[in-house]
Amino acid sequence: MRSCNLKTTIHFEENALSRLASLEYKSVFIITDPFMVSSGLIKTVTKHLDSAQIKYKIYSDVVPDPSTDKVVSGVAALVREMSPCLIAVGGGSAIDLAKCVRLFAHNLHADYAPHFIAIPTTSGTGSEVTSFAVITDTKRNIKHALIDDFLLPNEAILDVEMVKSVPASIAADTGMDVLAHALEAYVSTESDYFSDMYAEKATSLCKHYLVRSYRYPQTQEKKARDKMHVASCLAGIAFNTASLGICHSIAHQLGAQFHIPHGRANAIVLPDAIAFNSGIAENTFSLDNPAPCVSKYANMSRRIGLIGYDDVACVKSLAYFIRSMQIEMGMPISVHDAAPTVSFTEYESRLDAMAEAALLDRCTKTNPRTPTKADIIKILKKIW
Ligand SMILES: NC(=O)c1ccc[n+]([C@@H]2O[C@H](COP(=O)([O-])OP(=O)(O)OC[C@H]3O[C@@H](n4cnc5c(N)ncnc54)[C@H](O)[C@@H]3O)[C@@H](O)[C@H]2O)c1
Ligand SMILES: [Zn+2]
């Protein structure tokens, strides 16, 4: 038996944040990215609480790729208040920190389980609808993916007002994360009808709106930002069911070792992960016994309007299309471009540890092709 459970209530489109004015709580605890406070954007959220006379406490000790020690201080702050409702406002980092803080506060006080609302301010991780949280162990340079149903938010609010201020380069990084989620969920060994449907729609939205969302605000095309915000959530639902693959396992190493932003790291790895999974090398033009993921990648490629005379050509089109989007958005396409201060000697010295950690990463389990350590090292060398 298999099950598909969509627990989070999603509020979206114009004025979605007005949901906050109908909360039945007298006080809430907000965990947010410091940028939300310094830019004043948090007021877009708190004005609805003010109008309903709901008191709030703001906690903003959040850093990109939150670490275990940030969880400890966050738990102490939340437990001091014991608020009945926790609201996370920010990108994946703020939402993941809030998820872990809530989980560990609950572990300390079994009857404390605050209502949990996630308000994403980037269109990338889909964390608002996933039971995943990624926490960095800064001592060992490892990113841990926690998976627990308790991490799943009760409500998610997708309001385009929260993503209009995202700079172009972050829109590119986070948008590529959406695409990686959708494509990895689509070929995962745990994919099913439901995850496929969400992955297909998310990929199609990326095809049409990712580069346009990067060009905002020059183009004044708010619609592109709105569509990518929904795409991020749809891809989150897809991978929450199907999980991910080695693109993420390897990207987690690049993030933990060299602080390459999560989506940027995924974009660098994605075309090579597709080539590895499908067994299609640069000089391969046909396959006698193609792996099952070849027809899935090819199907996705056709669905989003790419062309190719057979499945192999369609998969190649998909990989080229990803690279061309990266180039169009001015993104680095290699580790060397993304982390120019790292020398090859240093990179090479970490290959072994990175490959071992990638093999142990939970995302590797659902990759359509089981990699060996040598396979991961080969990909790591290729993307240098
Ligand atoms: N839980 C999950 O399911 C899941 C999935 C994928 C990734 N992740 C994790 O999420 C984290 C990455 O999250 P992210 O990509 O959203 O980035 P992020 O949350 O780290 O934010 C990136 C940068 O964008 C800024 N920012 C955020 N919102 C903004 C806005 N509206 N306007 C201007 N600037 C804004 C932040 O201040 C920060 O500097 C990583 O730790 C990654 O491992 C989690
Ligand atoms: Zn991701």
* pLDDT at residue 65 in the model: 86
Contacts 24+ apart (CB under 8 A), 370-375: 371/246, 371/276, 375/276
Ligand 1: residue whose CA is nearest its atom 37: 35
Decide: 104 and 75 in contact? Cβ < 8 Å. Answer: yes
Taking residue 8's Cβ as centre, other Cβ atoms within 10 Å add up to: 20
Q: Which of 122, 143, 160 to mutate to test the pocket of ligand 1 (most atoms within 8 A of CB)?
A: 122
Q: Do domains 9-165 and 169-382 have the same CATH topology?
A: no
Q: Is 153 helix (H, G, I), strand (E, B) or coil?
A: coil
Peptide linkage before 217 cis (omega within 30 of 0): yes
Q: Is the C-beta atom of 92 inside 6 A of ligand 1?
A: yes
Beta bridge partners of 136: 67, 143
3-class secondary-structure state, position 320 = helix
Q: What are the extents of the domains in the chain?
A: 9-165, 169-382
Rounded Cα distance between 119 and 90, Å, is 7
Q: What is the pLDDT of residue 93?
A: 95
| Residue recorded with tokens 């995943």 | 132
pLDDT at position 171, please? 98
Nearest CA to ligand 1 atom 5: 125
Q: Give domain 9-165's CATH number out of 3.30.70.1350, 3.40.50.1970, 3.40.50.150, 3.40.50.10860.
A: 3.40.50.1970
Give residue 307's pLDDT: 87
- Report which protein residue has its CA nearest ligand 1's atom 28: 121
Q: Which residues surround ligand 2, an ion (CB under 5 A)?
A: 177
Query: CB 48: neighbour CB atoms within 10 A?
Result: 19
* Count of Cβ atoms closer than 10 Å to residue 204 Cβ: 18
Whats the size of the chain, residue-wise? 384
Angle at 98 between CA 22 and CA 47, to 5 degrees: 35
- The whole-angstrom separation of Cα 146 and Cα 144 is 6
Find out if CATH 3.30.70.1380 is the number for domain 169-382.
Answer: no
Give pLDDT, residue 114. Answer: 98
* Cα–Cα dist 332/177, whole Å: 14
d(CA 6, CA 126): 13
| pLDDT score at 136 | 87
Q: Is the CB of 153 under 6 A from ligand 1?
A: no
What is the per-residue pLDDT for 323?
Answer: 97
Give the separation between CA 59 and CA 331, rounded to whole angstroms. Answer: 32
Strand order in the sheet with 27-32: 9-12, 155-158, 115-120, 85-90, 27-32, 55-59
* CA 254 – CA 111 distance, rounded (Å): 38
Q: Which atom of ligand 1 is nearest to the CA of 177?
A: 6
CA separation for the pair 181, 379 (Å, rounded): 19
Please give the full DSSP string across 259-285, using - where no structure is assigned: ---HHHHHHHHHHHHHHHHHT--TT--
Q: Where are the alpha helices (DSSP H) in the chain?
A: 34-38, 43-51, 68-81, 92-108, 168-187, 193-215, 222-242, 246-258, 262-278, 292-303, 311-328, 335-338, 344-360, 373-382
Determine whether the shortest distance from the Cβ of 326 to ligand 1 is under 6 A. Answer: no
Mutate to test the pocket of ligand 1, among 252, 253, 262 (most ligand atoms within 8 A of CB): 262
Helix 373-382 with 344-360: angle, nearest 10 deg: 140
Does the C-beta of 132 come closer than 6 Å to ligand 1?
yes
The pTM of the full predicted model, rounded to 2 decimals, is 0.96
Check if 65 has its Cβ closer than 6 Å to any atom of ligand 1: yes
CA–CA distances in Å: residue 13 to residues 199, 234, 254, 306: 20, 14, 34, 29
Ligand 1 atom at shortest distance from the alpha carbon of 96: 1
273-309 per-residue burial string, b: 16 or more CB within 10 A, e: under 16: bbbbbbbbeeeeeeeeebbebbebbbbbbeebebeee
Which of 170, 264, 363, when mutated, tests ligand 1's pocket best, judged by the most ligand atoms within 8 Å of its CB?
170
pLDDT 10s per residue in the chain (384 long)? 888 878 899 999 989 999 999 999 999 999 999 999 999 999 999 999 999 999 999 999 999 888 999 999 999 999 999 999 999 999 999 999 999 999 999 999 999 999 999 999 999 999 999 999 989 888 887 778 899 999 999 999 999 999 999 999 999 999 999 999 999 999 999 999 999 999 999 999 999 999 999 999 888 889 999 999 999 999 999 999 999 999 999 999 999 999 999 999 999 999 999 999 999 988 888 888 899 999 999 999 999 999 899 999 999 999 999 999 999 999 999 999 999 999 999 999 999 999 999 999 999 999 999 999 999 999 999 999
What is the C-alpha separation between 141 and 150, in angstroms, rounded? 26
Q: At 144, which helix (H) or strand (E)?
A: strand 142-147
